[in-house]
Amino acid sequence: MSRPLGAEVAPLAPLGEGAWAVGGGIRDFLLGRPVADLDVAVADRPAERAKELAKAHDARRFRLSASFGSWRVFGGRLPHPVDLTPLQGPTLEADLARRDLTVNALATPVAGPGAGEIVDRHGGVADLEARRLRLVTPAALANDPVRMLRLARLALQLGFAVDPEAVRQARADAPRLAGAVGERLRDELGRLLRLPEAWRGVELLDEIGALGALVPELEQSRGVEQSPYHHKDVLGHTLEVVRHASELLADPEPVFRGLAPRVAEALARPLADDLTAGQATLYAALLHDMAKPATRAVTPEGRVTFMGHDRLGAEMVDTLFRRLRTSTKLREFVTLLVRQHLPLGFMVHREPLSLRQIDRYLRRTAPAEIEVIVLTVADRLATAGPMTRPSAITRHLALARQVAGVHFELLDRGPIRPPVPGDALARAAGRPPGPWLTDLLAALREEQLVGAVRSAEEAEQFARRWVASDRSSF
């Protein structure tokens, strides 16, 4: 931890004295990690100092927060963005004492005597060397409960252990998460889900008590027993599904084989809230069974059931994501995955499946066809109780590959368009155009898919038969 900081903070010299580089940028520099940005605490005049720094480097600036007086300077000759914020307290020492972790409570003057020398009032350098996350004060998490999520994220991101006292304090303060601002929880969860092996961070959230405080339904899942087809309680199963989904996101080849590149491409596409489709699927893996405690029942024969947990779970996800103020696109995506996580498993028992059956399933899960399939695979892999036959898992994975393969074939084929316009079909059927045409066109598309209709004449004949069979509503 003896890397010289002088060269790193030299571009900040125009800020003058009374300015200190602080926090994660200093931590990452000392660890030899890439520095994405630098935070600077200033004693006074943040707006004027931001202007001076921008002028010195031909850079740009904008206000980050009017309430906190924060500014960002970026571009020009600056090696990375710089965020300027007023000291949180009358002195640097007071500012550092208000920070969360000792490894984030490091600072260095950016100008004048001592520039580049580390200010370490809380043993942060020793904790870096020990690869340990320790709280600056026992009140650090109570002062800002969202720090619990950051604690788990940094432990995963840095590969550090969490100090036992920090774990104890987090468990004591976890109930305070219920009052945290939804947007901040959303942002911190997103940062965790974007990390490799995000499942480890989710398990750490559970270890420190934050997971159940954030989603009470998951805490209610602890100890909820399932059928003999499961080897863990509902919460244990959920955490295992998250792990399998995370592993599939990292490498789909063991399950999807030759389709793996296409699956990986689908999972990597940007979705919403700075998450890829695959990362958003981890949300669904975490929440897919959140309604099981509310729907658990035991039949007179002693069979455990969770009827309707997919439907109720989707409603619960919708409520949770509104609280977290996620985008509509992310909320609808995860809600769809939770609602549709069961049907593919039921379809295993109806094999062999026709192209019609597979197409209907894919249309039900659109536009998240691959992500739903991945979730069902993760769910199936995490269901291995004493009554589960290995062949059942094998059959599910084979069906997942088959359905994914059909999806990609249809994707490559392109949209299936009717041979004649809808109004012409209406005339052929002897009915005025109306909403009923939507159902007719869907039925016609299916006939075209399987090759039963190939021409305009056949399409018109099908429309007349379809209307005559009274399958339309007028």
**pLDDT tens readout for residues 295-327:** 999 999 999 999 999 999 999 999 999 999 999
Q: Tell me the pLDDT band of 281, cut-offs 50, 70 and 90.
A: very high
Judge contact between 204 and 156, C-beta under 8 A: yes
Judge contact between 276 and 269, C-beta under 8 A: yes
- What percent of the chain is modeled with pLDDT above 90? 92
Task: Determine how β-strand 132-133 pairs with β-strand 161-162.
Answer: parallel
CA distance 78 to 59: 7
Q: Is the pLDDT of residue 4 over 80?
A: no
The reported pLDDT for the residue numbered 3 is 60
Q: Which residue from 222, 233, 240, 147 is spatially nearest to 192, judged by alpha carbons?
A: 147
CA distance 362 to 331: 20
DSSP letter assigned to residue 135: B
Ramachandran angles phi, psi of 34, nearest 5°: -60, 140
DSSP letter assigned to residue 12: G
Q: Is the pLDDT of residue 2 over 80?
A: no
pLDDT tens-digit series, residues 328-344: 999 999 999 999 999 99
Ramachandran angles phi, psi of 2, nearest 5°: -105, 15
The reported pLDDT for the residue numbered 68 is 79
Residue that has been written with the tokens 């005339």 in this structure: 427
- pTM (predicted TM-score): 0.92
CA distance 46 to 83: 10
Q: Provide the Cα torsion 333, 336, 310, 236; round to 10°.
A: -30
Q: Tell me the pLDDT band of 474, cut-offs 50, 70 and 90.
A: very low
The reported pLDDT for the residue numbered 389 is 86
What one-character-per-residue DSSP string does 363-392 give? HHHTT-HHHHHHHHHHHHHT---TT--HHH
Q: Tell me the pLDDT band of 472, cut-offs 50, 70 and 90.
A: low
Say which residues have a Cβ less than 8 Å from residue 243's Cβ, sequence separation at least 6: 199, 203, 382
In whole angstroms, what separates CA 77 from the centre of its chain? 34
Residue, of 3 and 124, whose pLDDT is higher: 124
pLDDT tens-digit series, residues 52-96: 999 999 999 999 887 778 999 999 999 999 999 999 999 999 999
Residue, of 228 and 166, whose pLDDT is higher: 166
Q: Is the pLDDT of residue 470 over 80?
A: no
Q: CA separation (Å) from 112 to 298, 409, 435?
A: 73, 66, 75
pLDDT tens-digit series, residues 375-391: 999 999 999 888 888 88
Rg (CA), the chain: 28
pLDDT tens-digit series, residues 176-189: 999 999 999 999 99
What one-character-per-residue DSSP string does 402-457 give? HHHHHHHHHHHH-----SS-HHHHHHHHTS--STHHHHHHHHHHHHHHTTS--SHH
